[in-house]
Structure 1
Amino acid sequence: MPGTKRRKIVVIDDDDEVRGLICHILAGGGYAVADTGDPSRAAELVRTEDPMLVLCDISMPGLDGYGVLRELQSDPATARYPVVFLTAQREFTERVQAFRYGVVDYVAKPFTREILLRKLEKVLAERARRSGMAEGQGAAPASELLEEVQRESRSGLLTVEGVEGEARVVMRAGEVVESTGVPATGDPTARARFEEIDAEHEDIAAHDPPRLPGAAASVSFDELPEVVRDVLVVDDNKAFRRFLAGVLVRHGFTVHEAADGEEGLRLALDRRPWLILTDVRMPGVDGFEFCRRVRSHSLIRQTPLLFLSGWDDYKQRYQGLELGADDFLSKDTPIRELLIRIQLLMRRYADLGTRARKGAGMEGQIEVVGAPGVLQVCHLTRLTGRLSAVDAGRRADVRFREGEIVDAQCEDMWGEDAVFAFLAWSQGRFHFHPGDPGEGVPLGESFNQMILEGCRRLDEKRGSTASGPSWRAARGGAPAGAAARAASSSRAAWWAGGPAPPPPGAGFRPRP
């Protein structure tokens, strides 16, 4: 119709012939089209043309479709534009990956004119229907609305009302800016409402107090190396876990999730995160028992642990801190304050990690991260050189090549025994000296197995009692099968956080 502004679509495809065909079909369907065969120009083109939709190929040289999507999502000015992938890949796993990354739909090649136009009309009609205010009632609709807002990078106010009260979440381009309360999307009586705000014409500001002079505009974890941006979230509320995981992932963290304390302990020992966030009230192993077990394991006892509880009770706070937690917050705590508390907890790693990335001058106090943590930093950052540690009259030297331990000496012990002895250090000072570690092959079956075994032996020694059969007696006085079962039971008890069995009796031997 004359005078009507045509809807615009940006097309990104490195194949000139295919791109030309798409542009021809879209123009014939009444669309205005802007296109490029250079994916590196995609974000600039989208900013300039202000389209209603972006149609992008996946397989392109240099910057593929996922790279284009990341560039668009990383800029608030372009994060709100819906992206539809166009590709010859028909595998189901490719579709799943695309939707996880945030595309709104997927068109497989080859396609007909009718298929392409019908798909785009459906996407645009659905977005037009969802603009302004959207509502959902019940657990599934409320959860889907929250996921939709995040996936489509929308801006506005999400309100969720349930039996536990009302939660209000301010969103900018799909990211949480501020939150009062936890969205109870798992509540079957929950009622969710999203009020859209145009990010171009109305600013969304967090309800934070005025900034202090020199204070940062936002919470940043850039000073932390990637290897320590690894967190475990333990909570039986799936909606809250996903909500919190989304916030942390957008700040550069790798997030592991567990629904109770037992699963949390298994993941903590397996993944060895550098931070643990846990609820208090959970079925089975609750947060307090989980904290006690974490603090009883030499492998993870130094890991910062923060309680996030739906009940802000001073008795719970006292009990949590008494068990060894580093902090205790209510789930009603604003997101920005939570991130600041996490930043403060993890500041202990900042200088250590920055130096570890370069390898030169890494030094610090063992009690800050624990002896297992010191070795793990050297391993994860693939350092080559010599780690020296001193404590009063004691001295230890551990030699690394590309993050693998090739030799060690601790007082009068050598090799694996020296590593096991160093793991028992609770204090002291360490310094890493980059350089040639000398000859040697990696000790033990693997780095992880050696550290696990050393920590298991250490915990057995700490928990050993005079009662009960000793490991040496079981090995010498029982058939091989029984001894093997005893060994398996011993390790299982240690992994489960239960009472430590007697020590195995294999003492450290000095190198001949």
Structure 2
Amino acid sequence: MSARILVVDDIPTNVKLLEARLTAEYFDVLTASDGPTALALAASEAPDLILLDVMMPGMDGLEVCRCLKADSATRHIPVVMVTALTDVGDRVRGLEAGADDFLSKPVNEVALFARVRSLVRLKMLTDELRTRQAMSGEAELLEQVGESGEGAAGSILVIDANVRGGDRMRSYLEEAGYDVLVCTSKDAALEICQTDRFDLIITAIEIAGEDGLRLCSQFRSREATRYVPILMVLEDMDLQRLAKGLDLGVTDYVVKPVDRNELEARVRTQIRRRRYHDRLRSVLDRSVSMAFTDGLTGIYNRRYMSAHLDRKLMEIAETGKPVSIMLFDIDHFKLVNDTYGHAIGDEVLKAVTDHVSESVRETDLLARYGGEEFVLVMPATDVEIALKVADRIRERLSHQTIPAGAAGSNVTVTISAGVASTFDPLETPDALLKRADQALYAAKQNGRNLVFGVNGPATPDAKRAARAAVGD
């Protein structure tokens, strides 16, 4: 895994040492000897991670970290403090400033590379989500989805076979406002995660003699817990097992005896990041949904319908069952807009889609074709059944009234529809839609509020006109 890393230290020897170690592992290294230079490089070069010395003249590492996290262009860059300070209070101040972790001088290579790779992976995930969101056309929302959420309640699962230790951690976290559940076995934890959602998982590295790292691996392999941050509690600073845990997907750790303030600071950081990623994914999912759904009615759009219909036509070769479609539009819809206004016209469109959706099967697909035109795709349905369905929908809609808002009256609308069906898996969606459109044209030419099909109209009185228009 390659990445660009910014090393910040006012002592040239320390810079050269870290640069040599990182370069030997094929990382691209940038260097800075003071805070202002580091901030400028972070903004212009967008590194994937910053190794930041705490004790520097002028602007120290804590102030640099606070500036990085306050700037929207750099707040998502992971920061690891490199320090000779070992006091827990110093670590807590660094975490509160936005640091992701600490490495003590002299820097151990195992700890260095394990933490670098873990945080770079996290940064790449964040970058991917942000890039997809920007490409979705909602780039302006990036700044609105900030890493906020401190103080908001969170749900935490604590896994520890030591009942006393688990209860102590629960007491700490519940007093800080979190909702905490304690499990004493690996199997119980895996089972509850299938049904309950957690913002953070805290697990001991040993659970009743079983390897906690294996549990972490199982969490990462399951969809329900793949993206839940994991905080591991170490018995001592076992760098080899820590490195393995970080490679498996552990996102943070604390070492016993656990300091309460440090625990709360790390928990707060992990939950804040979890919620940030959740909101990014939510916006992204909404953007993807918008690409395939109609913004006004909430049903599928023409693009999705075409792809869906294409798949259903190809399935005929496997199932041997026909596919039918109903193409319909609202009669005299322009008159509705001219009489009541476009706002009422929009309400009519939504009401029509609601009524049709309630009248069809779950396997059918309703889509807005454009303007006041709609398409209903009915798989495994022959033309006779499709005609009956279409006429039932037409009849039901003709008796529905739609409130006309401030106008103080109700709107009644009718539809005209054309039905087409095929047993041919090689027929294209465009060809089937063209036949349905011909049938729709016949319905409109013969007085509207009618359903015509390629094999004949749904009402006996219109058979002759339908055959003439469709060519059947």
Instruction: Check whether TM > 0.5.
Output: no
Structure that is richer in helix per residue? 2
Instruction: Using structure 2 for the length normalisation, give the TM-score.
Output: 0.30
Comparing both chains, which one has the higher relative contact order based on Cα–Cα distances under 8 Å and sequence gaps of 6 or more?
2
Bigger Cα Rg = 2
TM-score under structure 1 normalisation? 0.28
